[in-house]
Structure 1
């Protein structure tokens, strides 16, 4: 039996004739059905790739505000063998005769938030994905409580999706936003993230004109718009690799233009949903690729940017981190560390047996009370194992898993044996 258990995660369950589960495929299958077994595993791999690809496509469709007829929605989304795994965990808006209603899949049918079945879904109904922009605060919070209380893990961040509204500073600058400026990013990681979100970007190298800025660009043909995120190289001794590519870039303005005109447009004229999604992308680039997330940067990074590391690592929370904080506040009462952990300002504070730890909800970096001594813990690739059985209301936030993993580890600091940690926390 093949079961989709998560985005990119497929479970194969082998059973005996009577239904008794097996730990792995039977030896007879390996011996007598080699080709068929290979084809099965290839199919499973394809399903894993497609769930990820389709999840990403749905996520990107939020900015397009696409609509489908009820018939199209049923055929290609709600009742499709693969897509239904994704669509039935999302919020949709059904519109008909000028009226609209939020709906979600519960108990074998489409219902409103309270579980009442949606009537009148027919050829005159159009369906679109729900987005928090334009929704009331009460509605957003109610949906967050819905998914948390029912422990439904959304395949993409929707109910907990960040919303970016124009700030007073952006109303003053008018033609550009400096909200994400003055950050130091690891360029190769930024490049991967940008291209994964549909942006165009070329790596800056020492062979480029050093006095010119570069930019990542995304086309938005549905709105006749183009968004630009300006960056420039960080020039310092040794700050490039063997091929001459700069290791770091510094961030600058976000602008919007027309596809065939480079003149910046007034931010107030950009549709709120478009502005929010573009700023969310840029916040993601900063939130993931910033050197402030690197626990080793304090000792090994470029000396002239040490101040930036300090300010980012333990500074004010951005919108991504604020949403993460709200998620942690909802999850914490359900976790076994609830009695020794609390959310305080921009930190998840954990009282261990030996020390009390403040885990920054943006960078994941740690300070120890009472003197705010820095604690360096480098997460390994299996850092999410500690949170495998912890319900998270959405997929895709690796930092959330890292923060919770560190919290679980430090709650039992008297059991830590890793010498790279024990000497820092003063364990005998």
Structure 2
């Protein structure tokens, strides 16, 4: 049965089971968030501790779908926490006292094997409990390596203050009134500050704010830190938060220049999806996926999801609905409707010989 019959659902036993399931779902969500925070903080576990955690019935499935870093090794937790399996299938035993932590995307990028983990997720059909190997990542730019105090990567971007403040508050940022918004990384004894040109107002006092800088300083003495001296994971996560706020709360809607990392993530997803489905007529180039179809050549913008027909013209495709989104494979549990929309359009147009919608076919042939 897909659903419990209405009459049966009212019985005491079924009601108790449904309540128990709801409680377990809430616990699983909390555990998922706790694991994501542990990844961002760089929390270390011992091999013995992982063996104990792997016995937890709610934790075990999530632990097994995440990439861990050991002493010189990286892999998925296998054999009840006794070993790590790398992207090529090789097993590395874990010592009882060996320090192990969840790999952050920027760790795998620095190792040079991020693409292997991304491909492995697709080939195995592995859905991670949160974005790990397909997480938006923000390394330092060449210019930021030479900056003395903070980065101006988003300078001049205008955001709706109420929306931006609410988004960042949900990610641990505090409105300090006089110094913009701040997020603290207590384990590193440092903080990130997001400041605005309207510095003489509290962040929530004006309808629109203009981003100035993202800077870092110690929490003890407030001594400014050069971006190059900030731990890479902290820098990446701070910039990921700000990128989200700038993109979603931008006064003119999503700003295409503020979502470069998201575009890179979608480009990787498109490449791996096309490889998995043997779609050889799709080429990813920068912010665009070019599809050489049977009926026409299309270009899908990886940021906005807009479809252009070549040599000119637009093609309007209805976004994939929430109820059908589950038919698309995304290697993470986070809801990401725009990414699902982009993937669905690329797949649909790559197989345009199978299109049957008369209105869509007419629109393509009119161009």
Q: Would the alpha carbon gap of residues 266 and 27 (structure 1) be closer, same or farther in structure 2, given more than 3 Å must change?
A: closer
Alignment of 1:26-425 (within 5 A): 26=5, 29-30=8-9, 33=11, 35-75=12-52, 77-95=53-71, 100-106=72-78, 110-113=83-86, 114-119=88-93, 121-122=95-96, 124-135=97-108, 136-201=110-175, 215-231=180-196, 246=207, 248-259=208-219, 261-262=221-222, 264-290=224-250, 312-313=255-256, 318-335=260-277, 338=279, 341-350=282-291, 356-371=297-312, 373=313, 379=319, 383-396=321-334, 397-408=336-347, 415=357
Q: Which runs of 5+ in 1 are unaligned?
A: 1-21, 203-211, 234-242, 295-311
- Residue 401 of structure 1, CA deviation: 1.1
Contact residue 46 and residue 98 of structure 2 kept, 8 A? yes
Alignment of 1:19-30 (within 5 A): 22-26=1-5, 29-30=8-9
Contact residue 247 and residue 258 of structure 2 kept, 8 A? no
For residues 361-385 of structure 1, the C-alpha deviation after alignment (integer angstroms, 9 at most, x for no partner) is: 12333444323x4566674xx6344
Tell me the residue number matched to 1:4: none
SS of 1:177's partner is coil
SS of 1:198's partner is coil
Distance 2:175 2:197 in 1: 12
Q: Would the alpha carbon gap of residues 24 and 386 (structure 1) be closer, same or farther in structure 2, given more than 3 Å must change?
A: closer
For residues 312-340 of structure 1, the C-alpha deviation after alignment (integer angstroms, 9 at most, x for no partner) is: 44x5961232122122111113348x365
- Residue 356 of structure 1, CA deviation: 4.2
- Residue 245 of structure 1, CA deviation: 6.5
C-alpha RMSD of matched pairs (Å): 3.6
After TM superposition, the structure 1 stretch with the greater mean CA deviation from structure 2, 348-357 or 46-55, is: 348-357
Tell me the residue number matched to 1:14: none
Aligned positions, number = 355
SS of 1:43's partner is helix
SS of 1:173's partner is coil
Contact residue 409 and residue 416 of structure 1 kept, 8 A? no
- Residue 60 of structure 1, CA deviation: 2.0
Q: Would the alpha carbon gap of residues 168 and 126 (structure 1) be closer, same or farther in structure 2, given more than 3 Å must change?
A: closer
Q: Would the alpha carbon gap of residues 120 and 360 (structure 1) be closer, same or farther in structure 2, given more than 3 Å must change?
A: closer
Tell me the residue number matched to 2:201: none
Q: Which runs of 5+ in 2 are unaligned?
A: 199-203
Q: Would the alpha carbon gap of residues 343 and 416 (structure 1) be closer, same or farther in structure 2, given more than 3 Å must change?
A: farther
Q: TM-score, normalised by structure 1?
A: 0.70
Distance 1:132 1:347 in 2: 23
Distance 1:401 1:333 in 2: 17
SS of 1:48's partner is helix
Q: Would the alpha carbon gap of residues 316 and 120 (structure 1) be closer, same or farther in structure 2, given more than 3 Å must change?
A: closer
- Residue 351 of structure 1, CA deviation: 5.3
Contact residue 321 and residue 362 of structure 1 kept, 8 A? yes
Contact residue 213 and residue 231 of structure 1 kept, 8 A? no
Contact residue 32 and residue 129 of structure 2 kept, 8 A? yes
Higher relative contact order (CA 8 A, sep 6+): 2
Distance 2:101 2:365 in 1: 55
Distance 2:339 2:209 in 1: 25
